[in-house]
Amino acid sequence: MPISPSSSAQAAREVVAGRLRGIRKEAGLTVSELAARCGWHHSKTSRIENARTAPTAKDIRLWCEAAGVADQAGGLITQSLNAESLYSEWRLQLRNGLKQLQDSWVQFFHETRLFRVYSATLVPGLLQTEGYVAALFRRIAEFREIPDESEAAAAARVERSRVIHEPGHRFVLLVEESALYFRMGQEEAMAAQLGYLLTAGALPSVSLGVIPAATQERTLWPMETFHVYDDTYVSVELLSAQVSIVQPDEVALYLKAFEHLRSMAVYGPDARALVLKAIQALG
């Protein structure tokens, strides 16, 4: 796996690397000596210790056995797996299909109290209609050359999004006005999607903000789509991977960015007017 662009993921990986380095040194072993005992080239030891290569479970077991601390392997393996989970490539998440990926988030959504979402390019997932998201999933399947189960996956996402009707949850959703014009599917599907924004945006638990394209002076530039769940976890969507942010200072940075973006958005009648304008443009 390539080095994660997320400092959360890399910092977690460096903690594991530091512990392995400490184990080697406490055993009085050089890099070459440990490599010889493990049966690999000494450069691999250096890459692991410098967090350039993520160790496998087998690597960690061999390392700890070579240093005479086999009992520490289990804890280190768990810590290493947790570090690698912070950077999750879409190709790995999609091994079991688009539908399974939607279903895997259901329980987490039920447990989350406050959702904050910013999207510069798409209607936020929680407000996507079946026709809109089916068109999106078809394009994802084609681009990634995976089986097309867009209809089933779209139905699963819509079912998952019913959480917006459950008591005990709040949703603050921000979308750039330009995202209202990016076509997903035929005109009818896009019109239905925009129409649903007018309905869902009026729900008591939902605050839908639209950042006007004509904003005179932005306090923050458009950025990658990100989701903040409660105040403890941020999910950032990249083309190749999903990055999980869990370090408090990084989470705080995304919360600060969200507040800047939220301050530029319009709500209520003004937001509805921008959505209606996008609907009229479909004609």
Give the relative orientation of helices 42-49 and 7-26 as an angle to the nearest 10 degrees.
130
Given a cut of 50, whether residue 182 has pLDDT beyond it is yes
Q: What is the pLDDT of residue 279?
A: 97
Question: What's the pTM?
Answer: 0.76
215 vs 261: CA distance, rounded Å: 11
Contact 72, 20 (CB under 8 A): no
Domains of the chain: 7-85 (1.10.260.40), 90-282 (3.30.870)
Q: What 8-state DSSP symbol labels residue 235?
A: E
Chain mean pLDDT for the chain? 91
Given a cut of 80, whether residue 5 has pLDDT beyond it is no
Given a cut of 60, whether residue 112 has pLDDT beyond it is yes
The mean per-residue pLDDT over the stretch 72-91 comes to 78
Contact 265, 191 (CB under 8 A): no
Q: Which helix (H) or strand (E) holds 176?
A: strand 170-176
pLDDT tens-digit map of 206-234: 999 999 999 988 999 999 999 999 999 99
- Per-residue pLDDT band for 2 (boundaries 50, 70, 90) equals very low
pLDDT tens-digit map of 125-148: 999 999 999 999 999 999 999 999
